[in-house]
Structure 1
Amino acid sequence: MFKRAKLNIMSNIDQATQARIQQWLSPEYDSKTTALVQQLIDNNEETELIDSFYKELEFGTGGLRGIMGVGSNRINKYTIGKATQGLANYLKKQFPNTVLKVAVSYDSRNNSQTLGHLVADVFSANGILVYLFEELRPTPVLSYAVRHFGCQGGVMLTASHNPKEYNGYKAYWNDGGQLVAPHDKQVIEEVNAIESVSAIKFTRDENYIQLVKEDFDDLYINANKALSINPALVAQQKDLKIVYSPIHGTGITIVPKMLQAWGFENITIVEAQAEPNGNFPTVVYPNPEEEDAMSMAMQEGQRLDADIVMATDPDADRVGLAVKNTNGDFQLLNGNQIGSLLIHYVLSSKKAKNELKDNDYIVKTIVTSNLMTDISAAFGVKSYETLTGFKFIGEVMTARERTENYLVGGEESYGFLVGDLVRDKDAVNACAFMAEMTAFYCAQGKSLFEVLQDIYVEHGFYQEKLISLTKKGKAGAEEIQQMMQTLRENPPKQLGGIAVKEIRDYERKQSHILATSAITPIDLPKSDVLQFITVDGDVISARPSGTEPKIKFYCSVKEQLKDKADYDVVSAKLEEKVKNIMADIVK
């Protein structure tokens, strides 16, 4: 029985949350689930109850993502089952009189395989043919499979780079890209329309399950290999020393094979991080953005005097890169620097081969360095800007696939894609191109760090910093909301002692020039992002994360670099400027 009296003494639990808790104690949920909920009540775990039940999981920039556990705001068999049933219902409405097909894959996280099979069960029970990967495979391979098999949708079970407590559900449309408007919100409407667990079809129908076996990798690898810009040069540099870590994730299944197919023969895997493991035992966060996650690979790189060190996150859609600086020490590059190097390599190589076309373009997100735009402009290549999240880059690609030619895109959060084989960021593809890029410059006697300095001399020295503040649970979400509201109501007039000249509010879809009070529209979908542009051209952004309980502050500053010999002096100057700006906005 539901212990109503005990629940009612929890004065901070609102009625809507109590109603969800009561529903999850009903007989339609299995006994293990109801016992866990009752245990939270019996132990008076008020905060955990609120955080687990105060809302339904919603699609953010990376689909559904949350902590695993019981509750409507947690990742479990019922929230995943409900999301899949809602998606199945939506696909049937959008593609009537069609033999529906979906692709399903999963990463190395705890419960990912179980949840992946559960997703396949629900789709098959709804009469939808499922291409289910027999073993764990990366997100970009799933995106490729959606397109290859002509599916109407797809699902990847992953929480990307989040801590081990998390899992998630990335939903894909028929173009191989993650759900964007209007589909994301309309799928949620279908999900929310499911009022009872009894409406979820959990019983697997083997007639609608087709396993995708290991040989599918060859299709993906060969398609990527055909994108190589300088294969002959790679053959000359086949002994390039590469160190790679999958950080206990799916990258181990295909990144080494991709590099070998590309022609590289001297690949060292960080053995301590090679085995897929959802507990990620050697790192705090399985995120290549974090120095801790890259440290073992960098140590191995230093030991071997490697030419390049790379690491991918659990679902292998993000990649971190370390290169030797002028002192011979390995130095982590940030996502802006990696993306700028890739764009410069692709565009300069294609120009050298006279392969640039008038309809070529690149894409970046609004919080990603303007250096990428400067580079593309120098080559006469068009650039587009999207909201944060690679799904929006994929949306641009799909909208222009018949009229324009996508070359490369990237975002500061370590997501990149060269070529248009998929509609999501692809660390497997990026690893191959970063190795090729390294080989290309090694043949010229240059390191990637030196090439980056050359880019700064030509286009300006950009320096960026990201500060993330973690605010967990319902209270944290409300605090983040209040922080954004305060910035809107009382925007800073100066940052780091530098006057703010423009405020871009992507929620209100308008840009405000402070000196003239001129307001112009922003031609992008609404998003809870604020940007402050100073008179120096510095760009400071604030946005709540769509995938983690965080609010993120981005700062990008720029200074002229006349000579590479001045690198350290200018870098220190920019670092101080960033420090002063961030002190004013991150409070």
Structure 2
Amino acid sequence: MDEKIKSIYEQWRAEEDMPAGLKRELAAMADDEDQINDAFGATLSFGTAGMRGIIGAGLNRMNIYTVRQAAEGLAMLMDQLDSADKARGVAISFDPRYGSREFAYNSAQVLGAHGIKSFIVDDIRPVPELSFAVRHLHTYAGIMITASHNPKQYNGFKIYGEDGGQMPPKESAIITESAHQASDLFAIKVADIHDLRKQHLLTIVGEDIDQAYLDEAKKVNINEELIQNVGKDLKFVYSPLHGAGKNIGRRALSTAGFKNFEMVTEQTIADPEFPTTPHPNPEYREAFDLAIQQGKQVGADILIETDPDADRLGAAVRQPDGEYKLMTGNQIASVMLNYILQAKKAKGILPDNGIIVKSIVSTELATKIANHYNVDTKNVLTGFKYIAEQIKNFEESHQHTFQFGFEESYGYLIRPFVRDKDAIQSTMMLAEVAAYYKDRGMTLYDGLQEMYQQYGYFEEETISKLFEGLDGKQKMAAIMDSLRNDPMNEFADTKVVSVEDFETATRTLENGQNESIDMPQSNVLKYWLADGSWITIRPSGTEPKVKFYVGVEDQSKDKSIARLDKYVKAIYELIAKLTE
């Protein structure tokens, strides 16, 4: 074993104030070098949405010490602010996962030791409410303790900026650097909670934020008359997947006028074990098993699920044979976008300078829909903070009015009083879309087919290759280096007509000419093919994965699916070649 790793491990074992659970875990790994190397051979790092990892003992784990280190990084950044900005404080929220409440309070205690005020929720709340709370309370930053849709073994720490979006790269880099300076995790000061309350450096919030959020959420839906006449009878099933969407989601739907929905009882219990599904991820069919059973019993038109921190939304639509088919994130986004723009146009409230924002790995169907309504499209890097950044730019320049933002990974934003993915808003809007088609004697499935007939059949798929262990990052980097060193001129016998390298911010055309790309630097490659299809490859910012995205289009559904299948097969062959 590496002597440095061994020394750090022994230091942790010798720490007298170590919580009993962590002490037992450290003792249990004493004779397992691989486990010690994995826990102490690397440190958790910030990706596109903060840090995330397995809960446990070690530098490469989520525990009170690594959380304190991250909070210390934020505190050190805020120590450099003027007194007025520092006094604005930090909003803190958490989901129902193991350790979430403890991590939230440890964050507040670290901040409090620096004289920084915290506003902490009284109980679990979703990501969009934390984003809203930052804006509503005018805090300088926000902290959300969550691992989103990861399995129960994980937790995470996300930092938000003063606009309610995830902390921008510049500030995030400063926080990371500052946290690394606080290398002695056991020396980080934590203030006493009771002292912080006496000094008014820790304030509990909850219902006051709920009410303010719901007041804004009332403005999400467009056609109130439609909801009153049809929405009240729309049958659908909603599940918060044991997470933080259970209370605010139910209240938002009821406030909007949807009265005929049912909750999945077992999954409305906030349980960190996620006992009904090992993967509380609304893009997985297994997460819908209970909702499908309930949907069939009541004849639900649509099934809607939000992940444990309620920033992502998945849905399943009833098909003509009565079975339910899961919608992809791109399909959900497209059908909502198509409805939003046509409903606003019909109501005379679609602005002349409207714009949508989407990630570069999301469907081009959205671009086609936006063009149909004379609405512009802005593409950004993966990470909702880039969408939030554009919203801020629009508000400052007044050149565009934001209409919709989304990522293919099941994240959408309708109204920008929140600056992150908002599954509560999305639930309200998707229910309205289903009501719109029901009013026309159609299901949401019928609506999808109608949309494809109008704009063309778009198909997309995401394939992930997992690289676990200490050498995972090196393997992922080697794959990206290999693709750059040996450029692809064709893919599955189809010519590559341009390559966009976001690390060098250049677009290389078929004739060898280069163009600049106006985007931040990122380790992403996107290939455009001669038939209009595209392939994008990028390492994940929060998980040890390389992600391969593919998008195709054709006027025929069968041809579109056949083309997708061809490229998916070629991607698996490419993965096998790259990982030999």
Q: TM-score band, normalised by the shorter chain?
A: over 0.9
Rounded Cα–Cα distance in structure 2 between residues aligned with 1:441 and 1:359 = 28
- Matching residue of 1:504: 500
| Pairwise CA distance, 1:32 | 4.2
| Structural mapping, 1:437-456, within 5 Å | 437-456=433-452
- Matching residue of 1:81: 68
- Matching residue of 1:459: 455
Q: Extract structure 1 runs of 4+ deviating beyond 6 A.
A: none
CA contact (8 A) 2:91 2:141 kept: yes
Q: Is 1:230 matched with 2:220? A: no
Q: Is 1:155 matched with 2:161? A: no
- Matching residue of 1:340: 334
| Pairwise CA distance, 1:535 | 0.8
| Structural mapping, 1:244-393, within 5 Å | 244-393=238-387
- Matching residue of 1:201: 190
- Check 1:26–1:266 CA distance in 2 against 1; reply closer, same or farther (3 A cut): same
- Matching residue of 2:545: 550
Secondary structure of residue in 2 paired with 1:473: coil
Secondary structure of residue in 2 paired with 1:430: helix
CA contact (8 A) 2:552 2:560 kept: no
Question: How many positions carry a matched residue from both structures?
Answer: 567
Q: Which amino acid aligns with 1:214?
A: E
- Matching residue of 2:575: 586
| Pairwise CA distance, 1:155 | 0.5
Secondary structure of residue in 1 paired with 2:147: coil
CA contact (8 A) 1:103 1:153 kept: yes
CA contact (8 A) 1:25 1:38 kept: yes
- Check 1:459–1:94 CA distance in 2 against 1; reply closer, same or farther (3 A cut): farther
- Check 1:534–1:572 CA distance in 2 against 1; reply closer, same or farther (3 A cut): closer
| Structural mapping, 1:389-408, within 5 Å | 389-402=383-396, 403=398, 404-408=400-404
Secondary structure of residue in 2 paired with 1:254: helix
Rounded Cα–Cα distance in structure 2 between residues aligned with 1:299 and 1:343 = 29
- Matching residue of 1:5: none
Q: 2:565 aligns with which of 576, 580, 583?
A: 576
Rounded Cα–Cα distance in structure 1 between residues aligned with 2:107 and 2:267 = 28
In structure 1, list runs of 5 or more residues that go unmatched: 1-9, 562-566
| Pairwise CA distance, 1:218 | 2.0
| Structural mapping, 1:157-176, within 5 Å | 157-176=145-164
Q: Is 1:526 matched with 2:521? A: yes
- Check 1:499–1:97 CA distance in 2 against 1; reply closer, same or farther (3 A cut): same
CA contact (8 A) 2:55 2:63 kept: yes
Secondary structure of residue in 1 paired with 2:430: helix
- Matching residue of 2:534: 539
- Matching residue of 1:144: 132
Secondary structure of residue in 1 paired with 2:207: coil
Deviations 1:100-128 (A, max 9, x none): 32111100111111111221222223222
CA contact (8 A) 2:131 2:419 kept: yes
Q: Which amino acid aligns with 2:403?
A: L
Q: Which amino acid aligns with 2:570?
A: I
Rounded Cα–Cα distance in structure 2 between residues aligned with 1:106 and 1:393 = 23
Q: 1:72 aligns with which of 42, 49, 59?
A: 59
- Check 1:18–1:377 CA distance in 2 against 1; reply closer, same or farther (3 A cut): farther
Q: Which amino acid aligns with 1:170?
A: K
Secondary structure of residue in 2 paired with 1:255: helix
Rounded Cα–Cα distance in structure 2 between residues aligned with 1:432 and 1:23 = 51
- Check 1:446–1:31 CA distance in 2 against 1; reply closer, same or farther (3 A cut): closer
- Check 1:148–1:179 CA distance in 2 against 1; reply closer, same or farther (3 A cut): same
CA contact (8 A) 2:53 2:62 kept: yes
- Check 1:503–1:353 CA distance in 2 against 1; reply closer, same or farther (3 A cut): same
Deviations 1:124-161 (A, max 9, x none): 23222211110101010111111001110110100001
- Matching residue of 2:206: 213
- Check 1:68–1:494 CA distance in 2 against 1; reply closer, same or farther (3 A cut): same
In structure 2, list runs of 5 or more residues that go unmatched: none
Rounded Cα–Cα distance in structure 1 between residues aligned with 2:312 and 2:438 = 24
Q: Which amino acid aligns with 2:225?
A: A
- Matching residue of 2:179: 191
| Pairwise CA distance, 1:524 | 0.9
CA contact (8 A) 1:495 1:580 kept: no
Rounded Cα–Cα distance in structure 2 between residues aligned with 1:385 and 1:427 = 21
| Pairwise CA distance, 1:547 | 1.5
Q: 1:111 aligns with which of 77, 99, 123?
A: 99
Secondary structure of residue in 1 paired with 2:109: helix
CA contact (8 A) 2:460 2:552 kept: yes
| Pairwise CA distance, 1:33 | 7.7
- Check 1:195–1:573 CA distance in 2 against 1; reply closer, same or farther (3 A cut): closer
| Pairwise CA distance, 1:477 | 2.5
Deviations 1:294-352 (A, max 9, x none): 22212221222111100011100001011123433211110011111111111111111
Secondary structure of residue in 2 paired with 1:525: coil
Q: Which amino acid aligns with 2:574?
A: I
Rounded Cα–Cα distance in structure 2 between residues aligned with 1:97 and 1:216 = 23
- Check 1:74–1:327 CA distance in 2 against 1; reply closer, same or farther (3 A cut): same
Secondary structure of residue in 1 paired with 2:120: strand
TM-score normalized by the length of structure 2: 0.94
CA contact (8 A) 1:122 1:203 kept: no
TM-score normalized by the length of structure 1: 0.93
